A = this chain, B = another copy of it.
Amino acid sequence: MPTLANLPTPCLLLDGSRLQANIDDMSRRLAGHGVAFRPHAKTHKCAQIARRVARAPGFAGLTVSTLREAEFFADAGFDDLLYGVSISPDKFERAGRLLARGVSLTLVVDTLEVTDLLIHWLEQQGLHAPVMIEVDVDGHRAGLEPDDPALQLLGKHLAASASCRFTGIMVHAGESYFCEGVDAIAAHAERERAGAVAAAAALRSRGIEVPVASVGSTPTARYARDLTGVTEARPGVFVFYDLVMAGIGACREEELALSVLTTVISHKASHRRLIIDAGGLALSKDRGTAGQQRDCGFGLVMAVDGSRPYPGLRVDAANQEHGIITLPTDYELGAFPIGSRLRILPNHACMTAAAHGGYHVLGESGEIGAFWERCNGW
């Protein structure tokens, strides 16, 4: 029977109770705003977790970040998916196969060029797709500026198309990951809301129906104070949370559901170093906390029972299969014997999880339950 003492390391541990609490909290908050819950599956890429979020009140389908995920979740029985990344012509055919299977796969556009190509291609294939326009509220990544005249044009072309069903506006407040504290997050959430609502209003003023105004990001979904005009939210990392989220105040450290189980494989006494078998591959090289008030290195170090992070301990360096923890002078190497186990809290759960084949689910008493597989790659 697998236990915390005998699981091959490194591997992912998922605290089942925390996972459920995180899902409950997020879905309850969104339900309180009257906003549908379309969580992003890119963080977990796992059918069992998707089924848990699907049981939450207000669940309205999944968001995915790749067509591989879309296929995986369609195979798992999810038939309402939003592919939240600009669709490009090279991916029409693969998306079309899902549409032809009867999956409601919403596609996202943010240029006139792709919009017209998509309309035309779907017509040729005799396919129909729900389509959203991505609008950018904070310069983070992709999407049309809310005042870009092209927005009207895209809306008009989509509304007039027989092959596309224009469903609305999608925004992602990615810059919220750089907020500090709940008030700043709430202010950013208002910016996200206002941008989505303004873009929808601009289209409506031209007589275009805009059923959906979809916002994204875990911090803004959790700490928005007003979501008037928003119809759905797409938080992702909330299922696990991570140190980046804790660092901006979007969660408490005790809510982190994911950790990497690791073994102390050596001591380098001359340098006061623990060598662990979770390195850059098992933890990822994401240094998302580097710019935060507390730099967590490549992750914080917890006792194997998950009770607490050791104050002042972090993974200071990460080679491919070696993690290095340099002990401050108030710790003794002997307190962490070779062969003993630790748990590492990750900076960025999405990246850390992606290196692993799945999750060992931890029960309430620390027992290892099922292994839940992930779908990785493209």
Contact = CB atoms under 8 A, between A and B. Distances in A.
A82 interface: no
A143 interface: yes
A88 B357 contact: no
Contact of A287 (B281, B282, B285, B378): B285
A214 interface: no
Nearest to A134: B266
A319 B378 contact: no
A104 B13 CA distance: 33
B65 A320 contact: yes
> Copy number of this protein in the oligomer?
2
Given A285-B285, A338-B113, A357-B377, A264 B88 contact: yes
B338 A114 contact: yes
A142 B275 contact: yes
Nearest to A281: B354
Interface of A: 6, 8-11, 42, 65-66, 85-91, 94, 110-111, 113-114, 136, 139, 141-143, 145, 148, 174, 263-268, 270-271, 273, 275, 277, 280-282, 284-287, 317, 319-322, 324, 338-339, 348, 350-351, 354-357, 376-378
16 contacts: A8-B91, A42-B321, A87-B265, A88-B264, A89-B338, A90-B339, A110-B266, A111-B266, A141-B268, A141-B275, A141-B324, A280-B286, A281-B351, A285-B285, A355-B376, A356-B377
